[in-house]
Amino acid sequence: MRIGMVCYPGLGGSGIVASELADRLAHRGHRVFLFATELPMRLPEGSPVQFIPVEVPHYPVFPAPLYTLALAGALERAIREHGLELIHTHYAIPHAVAAELATEGHIPLVHTLHGTDVTLLGIDPAYQTLTAKALQKAAAVTAVSQNLAQQAQRTFGVHPRVIYNAVDTARFRPNPQAKRFYAAPDEFLLVHASNFRAVKRVGDIVHVFAKVRQKIKSRLVLLGSGPERAEALSIAHSLGVDDAVTSLATAQNPEAVIGAADVFLLASEYEGFGQSGLEALACGVPVVATRVGGIPEWLTPEVGRLVAFGDLEAFAQAVIELLSSPNLANLREAARHYAEKHFNPETITNQYEQVYHAALQGNAPVGREP
Ligand code: GMT
């Protein structure tokens, strides 16, 4: 198949899912064209995927850059020049509308919903109606968790098929030798990785760490960057734990740091899925996370702990209990096996391929009202 894949290129999970899927499809012999404003960070080097940059012209008359129109134009040209047979967008806003504009129903569209495209931007009147219309016309809509699929039904009137995210267990693997770079031999290493948006509640992570550190010798690595990073570091300073917190802004090889952790922390207010937590499990690192969105669909008691959102005391207790458990080594092993077994990239690629085949054959649309 000749597939056009659309995503955001930055630190976000939807770009990671799209780039890795594009790469696996290309290795299966499909011609895959990846559209983004920059080369997505997680597209593997030497990938057979063909990257098509979306160039957004700036002009003083425009109040803001016209990304939607530029993307639609790039897709329309690629349909003519490369004979795209199907377009798969990741993150609905504004990708679903841009793809609809470019294709006008001539080739099938598949849209994958990831999180705030439904729960935050999706409910914004500025975007809701047109996005709902575009999703309802698509050949298929998928969501990365049951929870997100239910929210999408309410917000957009669609019935997405759930396809969970995959994790590359060859890349995300235990890396205990690296722990010495971040912690002393008698200290535990806690890690959080994200794009530091408000929804990730990185300040809560720092508060939890300060509580844990009162009981257990430990250090915290904050991996990644984004709008809340400075605030998180200022909280660490005000709680007097800044000496024990390392902030690593670059995330070229997150697996090297995550794989060195004893426990991974995710305190989000919402997660459509929570990809970084799954990556931690693949590294053999148990996860303590908030019971929100799609997280309870993959975080089971055999590989980590769930706590109520905002209950920082319970969060800290769960971390302390995990780190003090005589079972920690078993939990680590279980975490890796669990990720390998349930979130295998090839199985998940098969599921997307099935959706594409059905879409191309014009079978009953996946994701519309039955
Ligand atoms: O919805 C977002 O915040 C954007 C998106 C991204 O690009 O960062 O993240 C979402 O997609 C990931 C991949 O499917 C999920 O693992 C994240 O849980 C989800 N983020 C949120 O729902 C906050």
Ligand 1 centre to CA of 59 (Å) is 31
Ligand 1 centre to CA of 324 (Å) is 31
Ligand 1 probe mutation, 5, 6, 8, 14, most atoms within 8 A of CB: 14
> Is 116 close to ligand 1, i.e. is its CB under 6 Å away?
yes
Tens of pLDDT along the chain (370 residues) come to: 999 999 999 868 999 999 999 999 999 999 999 999 999 988 999 999 999 999 999 999 999 999 999 999 999 999 999 999 999 999 999 999 999 999 988 999 999 999 999 999 999 999 999 999 999 999 999 999 999 999 999 999 999 999 999 999 999 999 999 999 999 999 999 999 999 999 999 999 999 999 999 999 999 999 999 999 999 999 999 999 999 999 998 667 899 999 999 999 999 999 999 999 999 999 999 999 999 999 999 999 999 999 999 999 999 999 999 999 999 999 999 999 999 999 999 999 999 999 999 999 986 556 655 4
Residue intervals of the chain classified under CATH 3.40.50.2000 are 2-166+344-360, 176-342
Fold of 2-166+344-360: Rossmann fold (3.40.50)
> Is 14 close to ligand 1, i.e. is its CB under 6 Å away?
yes
H-run or E-run covering 301: none
The atom number, within ligand 1, closest to the CA of 114 reads 11
User: For residue 316, what are the CA distances in angstroms to 9, 97, 199, 232, 307?
Assistant: 34, 43, 19, 17, 10
> Is 307 close to ligand 1, i.e. is its CB under 6 Å away?
no
**Which pair of tokens denotes residue 333?**
């092993």
User: Cα–Cα distance between 315 and 161 in angstroms, integer?
Assistant: 32
CATH code matching the domain that covers 176-342, chosen among 3.40.50.2000, 3.40.50.720, 3.40.50.300, 3.30.1540.10: 3.40.50.2000
The predicted-structure confidence for 280-328, as pLDDT tens digits, reads as follows 999 999 999 999 999 999 999 999 999 999 999 999 999 999 999 999 9
Q: Specify the pTM.
A: 0.94
Which 8-state DSSP code applies to residue 44? P
Of 55, 53, 64, 56, nearest to 6 by C-alpha is 53
> Is 270 close to ligand 1, i.e. is its CB under 6 Å away?
yes
What b-and-e string marks burial along 257-293, b requiring 16 or more CB atoms within 10 Å of the CB? bbbbbbbbbbbbbbbbbbbbbbbbbbbbbbbbbbebb
User: Cα–Cα distance between 144 and 100 in angstroms, integer?
Assistant: 22
Protein residue with its CA nearest to atom 9 in ligand 1: 13
Protein residue with its CA nearest to atom 23 in ligand 1: 271
